[in-house]
Amino acid sequence: MTEQFNVGDHVRWNSEAGHVSGTIIKVHTADSEYKGYTRHASKGDPQYEIKSDKTDHIAMHKGTALTKIRQSNCPSQEQ
């Protein structure tokens, strides 16, 4: 079974431009229209809308294309 992700998870995926990272903003568990195409999804195999960290571009991917990564904006230690 594919790893399940949640809204707010920070993930990485491979695109034509190389590795991209972003935050999941919506989880689709039923078929939906996206940029003129029907994206197939189910509770067992959802599609994820992800907002890119660098460009604010919105992408949609299945969980098999995503890797969960740690948050990089952890508070720094002040001295």
DSSP letters spanning 7-64: TT-EEEEEETTEEEEEEEEEEE-S-EEETTEEEP--SSS-EEEEEETTT--EEEEEGG
Whole-model pTM?
Answer: 0.82
CA distance 63 to 33: 18
Q: Could you report the average pLDDT of every consecutive run of 10 residues in the chain (79 residues)?
A: 87 91 97 92 95 93 93 45
Cα angle 57, 23, 46; round to 5: 95
Report the alpha-carbon distance of residue 57 to residue 16 in Å, rounded.
14
